[in-house]
Amino acid sequence: SSPSVPIPSPGSPALPPCGSPLLERKGKEPEREKLPPIVSAGAGATAGLDRGAKGQISTFSSFISAVSPKKEAAENRSSPAHLVFPNIKNVRDQPPISLDVRQKQRISMDASSSEVKAPVLPECILPIQTKTMKDFQEDVEKVKSSGDWKAVHDFYLTTFDSFPELNAAFKKDATASFNTIEDSGINTKFVNAVYDTLINTPQDIQKTVLKGIINSLLREWKGPRTRDDLRAYFILLQNPQFNNTSTYVIYAHLLRQIATLVEADHHFLVHWFKKLSQKRFKQLVERLLQFISLRLFPAKPEEFPPITKCSWWIPSAAKVLALLNTANNLVHPPLILYTDFYNSTLDHIDLMEEYHTWQNFGNSHRFSFCQYPFVISIAAKKIIIQRDSEQQMINIARQSLVDKVSRRQRPDMNMLFLNMKVRRTHLVSDSLDELTRKRADLKKKLKVTFVGEAGLDMGGLTKEWFLLLIRQIFHPDYGMFTYHKDSHCHWFSSFKCDNYSEFRLVGILMGLAVYNSITLDIRFPPCCYKKLLSPPIIPSDQNIPVGICSVTVDDLCQIMPELAHGLSELLSHEGNVEEDFYSTFQVFQEEFGIIKSYNLKPGGDKISVTNQNRKEYVQLYTDFLLNKSIYKQFAAFYYGFHSVCASNALMLLRPEEVEILVCGSPDLDMYALQRSTQYDGYAKTDLTIKYFWDVVLGFPLDLQKKLLHFTTGSDRVPVGGMADLNFKISKNETSTNWLPVAHTCFNQLCLPPYKSKKDLKQKLIIGISNSEGFGLE
């Protein structure tokens, strides 16, 4: 068990005053052996990649002895103090920030709650710092003419000597407490100026700063931190010296101390992080990602201690990254893209071992990157989902085989697949019947047969089945979905019906597409995928509602931009809302030519919308349109999807990532497509092929998308990129008067041998711009 942090009782010796001399790292060596790994994720999660934690401070010791003068060490040798790095495991009363993806808990970051929870300790009296930002900049300017760095050196020596000195230098007002999450109280411009100058100073100044940071981190911490301590951590974390691998031992200990802060302190740091500029915030993230990558795959392994002695490095960095990720999600729009948190290095580790560790141990006992899914790229997540799907397919097929043999029946290869036999003329009804009848086989490999047609399904028939079925179901005449031209997306029809099984079918189709790595040409708005992960696992209690999530006017704008604009106008209206809009808490919808009214709250038809209640009205209206009015339709869709994709791997995904898995990515790279294209009847050096790529690479984006849609059935790219399309150009030995032909089931373009670039361009544009409908024999 881990040792407890000594919390002083009223009768115990008082803490050393804030201005007391910093404790050098001398004393009882065995104490260090007892240090536990960092609490990384979830209650009591021990970090460390499971490689042990003993002796993990020894490298820091050697580093300090090399930097600190022997004289100072001798002076402090008699000191009874010994080095104790913080272990705050016993005070973690509050849940972790956004770490346990199994529970999908998201801690509220409201200012009021975090300020109430945070213990406010008295700040110590700070040293007097006479240098202003202007003084510092003048000293730096003088160096250019005199070459004398003494004044600058003295500033760095004093400022980075301790946490109180850091606060004295950078705090806007040394006498103010700044006990608020919204304002760190730090002069950010001054911090930036000092750090921007630091990386261009002589080595002795840079070493002085590092020595000061070491001394600061070696203080004997007891109990909670003050706000000034948090400010010091916040400042030190931005130090650009930590880009250098030679500083990683110090950086790791800084990260560890930040990672093991109590939850209330993390709330302060999170809110301070979100106030950083985009540039500085991104630098913090990139520095941490690089730290993880180089610890996993060091260019010079001898630079770092053995992994067994610093197994807490990566978990510490991951926890601090989690704080930054939480901060990023609090800002609208985010400071950086969620993809900027991806660490592509993780694509090259054993992802399934990480996944199984997470599956077996959850967020306790052992560290896994799956506890921090925001650092795992969508490509890596797809690999995890695919392999998890394959394993489930194998297990289901094996069980079917065992059942057959146990009943002394002859095994049949067809029992290993989800075999769909459908008629083209009754595509939807036959598909629904087959999937309902073979519900137990949904997790087997999909194979499709069209009745009355010879042909083995090698992947082409499956893709054709998806294409035809999706096209038919989403047709406006079918009435299941409404197409919104302004937003170019489909949304669920709110019409009431007796049977919602066809919505379940669409959910199953989407699940099968993800399960069988098929990209679908579906246009749902982003909030659809947010609802699909609410919750990410089907609840065991059938009474718990599914597919319900918090929605805003921004979500509505992605589907019905005009209506969303009208509601935004209502919210910002400066006149008398009741008199000018004359609305009540009631909405009207047309269903099969009949206008029906619905109250947004009890007695809503008698409650006028006023300046005071308009926010409630807009929220209830939005919730009605996106949640309540389509609840049964979406619930059926939700259950259909999760009947196929019931996997813990789904909990690793953001809603945007689910959309990319289902529909592919909208980012086209035609040069990558050119590099991966295969040829049949042509060589890549043939004149027709050269003409083709000259034309395609010169196309505007809309024509490039049309070409992709013409040849593959979708204008989006699979998660693995253009190479995963297996795009093929075949020679079509027909007249050059003919237009190009595409076989979307095989991502194949049949191109006649056009004699000129002009002729090829003209025919190709005509072909891809008039490609609605299938030529089926």
Q: Which residues have a Cβ under 8 Å from the Cβ of 445 and sit 6 or more positions away?
A: 393, 397, 416, 417, 418, 516
Q: What is the C-alpha to C-alpha distance for residues 711 and 678, in angstroms, rounded to an integer?
A: 14
Two tokens, residue 633 = 């339709």
The runs of H, that is alpha helices, within 362-455 are: 378-406, 427-437
CA distances to 51, 138, 205 from 159, in Å: 37, 17, 12
> For residue 493, which of 503, 501, 485 has the smallest C-alpha distance?
503
Counting other chains too, the contacts that 420-424 makes at CB distance below 8 Å and 24 or more residues apart are 420/446, 420/447, 420/448, 420/449, 420/465, 421/449, 421/451, 422/448, 422/449, 422/450, 422/451, 422/465, 423/450, 423/451, 423/452, 424/450, 424/451, 424/468, 424/776
Two tokens, residue 281 = 């915030």
Burial class of residue 170, CB neighbours in 10 A (0-12, 13-18, 19+):
buried
Looking only at the bridges linking them, the beta strands covering 481-484 and 489-492 are antiparallel
- The DSSP symbol for 449 reads E
**Three-state helix/strand/coil letters over 285-296:** HHHHHHHHHHHH
- The DSSP symbol for 176 reads -
Q: What is the C-alpha to C-alpha distance for residues 46 and 38, in angstroms, rounded to an integer?
A: 6
Catalytic residues: 745
> For residue 168, which of 187, 148, 145, 146 has the smallest C-alpha distance?
187
Number of H helices, E strands in the chain: 30, 10
Burial class of residue 71, CB neighbours in 10 A (0-12, 13-18, 19+):
exposed
Q: Which residues have a Cβ under 8 Å from the Cβ of 747 and sit 6 or more positions away?
A: 711, 712, 725, 726, 727, 728
Q: What is the C-alpha to C-alpha distance for residues 382 and 645, in angstroms, rounded to an integer?
A: 13
Q: Which residues have a Cβ under 8 Å from the Cβ of 461 and sit 6 or more positions away?
A: 447, 448, 449, 450, 455, 745
**Three-state helix/strand/coil letters over 467-525:** HHHHHHHCCHHHCCEEEECCCCEEEECCCCCCCCHHHHHHHHHHHHHHHCCCCCCCCCC
